[in-house]
Chain A
Amino acid sequence: MTPISLHIPCLMNMFMPKTGKSVVRLLERLDVPFVYHEDQTCCGLPASNAGFLPEARKVAKHFMEVFGDDPVVVSPSGSCVEMITQRYPALFEDEPEWKARAQDMASKTYEFTQYLVDILGIEDAGGKFSGKVAYHESCSLLRGLGVSEQPKKLIASVKGAELVPMQNADVCCGFGGEFSHKYSEISETMVQEKVTNFINSGADVLVMGEPGCFLNISGYVSRNHPGRKVMHIADLLAGPIDS
């Protein structure tokens, strides 16, 4: 099997290292060979979102230098993959050589659950969880990449887990990077609604495939509903990790 090159999003590297470990553990359990480049940093999404395009280009070039020779890049983040597959080529309209590299990068980069299900044909990643699971459709996965069935299939395959519907599962949780800080009052009402829908769904845990949504929703839950559980999908699939 072709080894994949693992991209761990900067937010996950800094704030969710355990989830990164879950990804590693899962890949090992599924016998998916992988490489990890320690000189990876960030995909450049924050600069692109803020309108700082020369800065985004600089970071994107570093990303492509790190990952450029690899056959496949896989990332447990919808928004990073959306950045790489949809914004990288457009960033380099005036630099043909880099544009070609960006197009190549875009064609070989996958979101984690997308890669497992669509490319490797895995519909049962194992894992155990006893309880009801609600799934939050992160905008970057659902509308950015068209990834929705893949994570749900994987959740349904977890032993003991029951996937339950949640109202407005496809409505944004209010993260949006800087938006959540700069427009915090609006963002707060959005995440509040998301969490209310989660609680009303009767689920024991809310699962998603995007580190941004995870920090937003779990941060709100930690402050306002301690005891409720929010997870990145990699953690659900891998099962509990000790450290």
Chain B
Amino acid sequence: MKIRTHEYMDIAREQLKEPNARAVLDFFPVILSAMRDAVYQSFEDPQAAIQACRDIRANAVARLPKLLEQFEEQAVKAGAKVVWAADSAQANAYIVDLAQKLGARHAAKGKSMVTEETGLNQALEDVGIAAYETDLGEFIAQLLKRPPFHIVGPALNVPTAEIRDVFLEKGVMDAPTEDPVELGRAARKYLRDRFHFLDIGVTGVNMAVAETGTIINVENEGNIRMCKSSPKVQVSIMTLEKVLPNMEEAMMVLRNLPRSATGQLISAYVSMDTGPKKAEEADGPEELHIIILDNGRSKVYADPTYRQALQCIRCGACLNFCPIYRKVGGYSYGWAYSGPMGQVLSPMLLGLDKTKDLYHSCTLCKHCQSVCPGGVEHPKILLTHRARNREKEPQFHGAGAPASLEARYRAFALAASRPKVWNVMIRGARTALNQKKQGGMVKELFGKPEGWFASRDLPPMGRPTFNQWIKEYKKHKK
């Protein structure tokens, strides 16, 4: 997909004025976060369950190279072909090549964020192979040529009237309706037809189990399952951090994933595949290809501060609790991953120079961190992004801070470490600021109400300041 991370504020500004985005954002994330809180109560000790998941993820990421080796060994033993891809281009080329060798005219895709990251649909379409998204939300977003709005509900912002129109236009259905059930049925029927005679199905991976070589998918619509059981050839593409040591630990993560993602105890479908179809089995693919994608993650793994970002399990809870995501929605983040997890991950993968707004547009409220079952400390990583960008860190392409900001913080540090200078500076600032007082409050500074002053007043500065006052007060008291 097209990377638009540098357009963050432009898109955010549009979205802030978009009535449908407003209505959806006031509703869905709030409901989802409330449902998450409620369903966690089914654990005797919810906080302990979250902590268990965090520990499992932290330990798995710490042992990542070993676990991946073990996973490869076991998956191959079960009959899968395991391929390593250094970047998107390699992963896409492998799939395109495979599809062409099969003579496939179309490929069906189960919901996956990683193919959004690699831009697989475009790569397939470039060689004349139609890629069908089979998750309802992804399908709608694809027809509308839009990026995902939410990692769990990619089209939850699209009004039914718009879905009706695009379904009619693209021949998904014949008669107009806005009934959500009917719309879902039309898409289902349309996609079922695509599953027939399917040569190749592509899915993501929620978890990979090292001990058994199993890949696990979690979903509510059953389409990922269809993508895995209908075609002759199945390709499952996973980023390298998805691996867990054993089934027991995978089940503990699974107990957290739907709870955190959609407020469900368990999703409607969980499929586990160990190798392709065996001789005695009724269905399943004849070939199973598992692509393990790096795309910048080994660099993240090698970095002690950044490594914990790989603990993310893609539940999207951080989005639902993020007060900023709740205002600007998913498009503003400009790439596959939105909300706090996107703010953490995208700068690592795309470079600090291209993603400035992602790590600055945050109040560090820690709401994301407090609900993250992966144990990611988003605010800490965002602060590291800011510091590394300022230092022009080369590994992750830090670009440096603007000269005006450099000057401001140098002056700040100089004054704040010398009390006399500090107090002189405050008195100077007070004179300048208080001149602008209108009716007891300061309403603008530079001729027009911008930034802070567009919606807020500032009190004038105290005369005396507290510091001046207490000096006199102490004298008086003696």
Contacts and interface: CB of A to CB of B under 8 A. Distances in A.
Interface of A: 8, 10, 12-18, 20-21, 24, 36, 38-42, 44, 46-56, 58-59, 61-62, 139, 143-144, 170-172, 174-192, 215-216, 218-220, 222-224
Contacts of A177: 363
B367 interface: yes
A16 B462 contact: yes
Contacts of A62: 416-418
A179 B443 CA distance: 18
A213 to B, nearest CB: 10
A55 B469 CA distance: 28
B403 to A, nearest CB: 13
B29 to A, nearest CB: 11
Contacts of A14: 426, 429-430, 461-462, 465
Given A58-B417, A172-B365, 16 more contacts: A13-B467, A16-B466, A17-B464, A39-B419, A44-B416, A50-B405, A50-B409, A53-B391, A56-B413, A172-B363, A176-B362, A179-B362, A179-B363, A186-B16, A186-B361, A218-B459
B386 A50 contact: yes
B35 interface: no
A59 B451 contact: no
B389 A51 contact: yes
B454 A219 contact: no
A41 B386 contact: no
B25 to A, nearest CB: 10
B364 interface: yes
B419 A40 contact: yes
B236 to A, nearest CB: 37
B12 interface: yes
A183 B361 contact: yes
A13 B275 CA distance: 67
Given A55-B409, A55-B410, A15 B361 contact: no
18 contacts: A14-B430, A36-B474, A38-B470, A42-B416, A50-B409, A51-B383, A53-B387, A56-B413, A139-B366, A174-B363, A176-B363, A179-B362, A181-B452, A188-B455, A189-B16, A215-B458, A219-B456, A223-B455
A187 B453 CA distance: 12
Interface in B350-390: 360-367, 369-370, 383, 385-390
Given A17-B469, A139-B366, A191-B455, A186 B324 contact: yes
Interface string B13-26: 10010000000000
B441 A15 contact: no
A18 B462 CA distance: 8
Contacts of A18: 462
Interface string B437-478: 000010100000011101111110110111101110110000
Contact of A185 (B13, B385, B418, B467): B13
B327 interface: yes
Contacts of A55: 409-410, 412-413
A175 B458 CA distance: 13
B401 interface: yes
Contacts of B413: 44, 47, 52, 54-56, 58-59
Contacts of A181: 451-452
Contacts of A179: 360-363
Given A50-B405, A171-B367, A215-B458, A59 B417 contact: yes
Nearest to A218: B459
B114 interface: no
B454 A174 contact: no
B9 interface: yes
A188 B454 contact: yes
A53 B391 CA distance: 9
Given A46-B412, A55-B409, A219-B452, A12 B419 contact: no
Listed residue (B16, B426, B465) with the most chain A CB atoms within 10 angstroms of its CB:
B465
Given A17-B466, A55-B409, A186-B16, A220 B417 contact: no
Contact of B16 (A20, A185, A223): A185
B451 A184 contact: yes
Contacts of A170: 367
Nearest to A58: B413
B364 A176 contact: yes
Contacts of B363: 139, 172, 174-177, 179, 187, 190
B466 A13 contact: yes
B170 to A, nearest CB: 34
Interface string B383-407: 1011111110000000001000100
Contacts of B12: 183, 185-186
A189 B473 contact: no
Contacts of A215: 458-459
Nearest to B417: A62
B151 interface: no
A215 B97 CA distance: 59
B417 A144 contact: no
B323 interface: yes
B244 interface: no
Contacts of A190: 323-324, 327, 363
A48 B383 contact: yes
B217 to A, nearest CB: 33
Nearest to A243: B469
Contacts of B455: 184, 188, 191-192, 220, 223-224
A27 B168 CA distance: 71
